Amino acid sequence: MALFFPLAAGIFFASAQTASARCCTLKTGASPNATAIATLYDIILGLGVSVFLIVFGFIAYSVWKFRASKHPVAAQFHGNTRLELSLTAAATMILVVIAAATFIALPTIIDPPNSNANVGSVLSASLTAPVPPNGKEVTICVMGRQYIWRFTYGANCNKTAWQDRLPYSYQEMEAPAGEVVKLVIQSSDVIHSWWIPALGGKVDAVPGFTTYTWFEALHSHELYHGQCAQLCGREHAFMTALVNVVTPAQYEAWLSQQGTAIQSQNDQVAQVRRYLVKQGILTPSGNF
């Protein structure tokens, strides 16, 4: 089977690639999981198109060849058990091939590869979900809410983000190139679905659940577009997301800059609050 897979992949990949890449195939090349899914898709496309052409060919030939004006006497037969069983077996074989291809491709899609570079203090070794063999990965929390995505950067970003003063951003995610980025996906209101097509499949953000996915953006200075894929309300169409892939160094610089900016904003808010409390406009607990 290990030999069969590349062979079949080669044949069908070639036929799928001859079709216009813009209409009929999935995005490849940005992240290994997305590329593996696209390869699996190409195999199914090759098989599917072949099956369609064969069956459609038989139907079209029958309609042309056996129309009443050309073929006035119909052959009276009720079936052919041997033919029936062989075609059923053939259909089964096609599905067995697809199932085998899926399980062979699966590790590439769900298990992240090793990533070697260190990206400062945001590295984490999570026990829960996608971990590369050497345990080095970047963790980013994705929180969906009507109608924007919030990204929090750093280990334990879904637990102690506030205490750890982790940097965050909205709508546009910064990500380091060449690193395995683990995404921890949650929702604070209704069901959303996280999806950047170039960086792999979608994962639902379901309130009350935590889901995980990962990507490894291979090229820096790329901007990938995606948007929420589950109806989440009236402005669902505008719940978009961008992933800005930068070099690891730029990523670290951005993190500290974002952290500083957030800190200074927080400081200003605290200052205003102290002033308002002093004036008696606000109670110490923050109520008017």
Partner 1 sequence: MSTIEYTSRPVPQILVHEVHKPRHSRQWLDWVTTTDHKRIGIMYMVLTFVFFTLGGVEALLMRSQLSVPNNTLVSGLVYNELLTMHGTTMIFLFVVPVMAGFGNYFVPLMIGARDMAFPRLNALSFWLLLLGGIVFYASIFWHPPEAGWWSYPPLSSKLYSPGGGQDAWIFLIHLTGLSSLVGAVNFYVTIVNMRAPGMTWGRVPLFIWSILIYAVLLIIALPVIAAAVTMLLTDRNFGTNWFNPTDHGSPVLWENLFWFFGHPEVYIMILPGFGIISEILPVFARKPIFGYKAIAASTIVIAFLSTLVWAHHLFTAPMPLVVLGFFMLSSFLIGIPTGVKIFNWTATLWRGSLVMTAAMMWAIGFIVLFLIGGITGIFLATFPVDWQLNDTYFVVAHFHYVLVGGAVFTIIAGTYYWYPKMTGRLCNETLGKWSFWVTFIGFNLTFFVQHALGLSGMPRRIYTYQEHMGWSTYNFISSVGAFIMAAGFVMSFYNFARSYKTGKLAGPDPWKANTLEWFTTSPPPVNNFDAVPRIRSVEPMRDIRLEVEAQTGALQKTGGSEQFSRV
| Nearest residue (CB) to partner 1, 231 versus 272 | 231
CA separation for the pair 196, 240 (Å, rounded)? 10
CA separation for the pair 114, 216 (Å, rounded)? 10
Smallest gap from Cβ 271 to partner 1, in A, equals 34
* Strand-strand pairing, 211-215 and 222-227: unpaired
| Nearest residue (CB) to partner 1, 135 versus 197 | 197
| Nearest residue (CB) to partner 1, 212 versus 254 | 212
Smallest gap from Cβ 253 to partner 1, in A, equals 28
Smallest gap from Cβ 88 to partner 1, in A, equals 6
| Nearest residue (CB) to partner 1, 119 versus 241 | 241
CA separation for the pair 206, 110 (Å, rounded)? 20
Amino acid identity at 188: S
Q: Which of 163, 210, 208 is nearest to 182 (CA)?
A: 210
Smallest gap from Cβ 238 to partner 1, in A, equals 8
User: Contact, 252 vs 246, CB < 8 A?
Assistant: no
Smallest gap from Cβ 78 to partner 1, in A, equals 5
- What tokens appear for 28 in the block? 């490849």
Helix (H/G/I), strand (E/B), else coil: 48: helix
Contacts (Cβ under 8 Å, ≥6 apart) of 137? 112, 115, 123, 124, 125, 126, 130, 131, 179, 180, 181, 182, 214
Smallest gap from Cβ 155 to partner 1, in A, equals 22
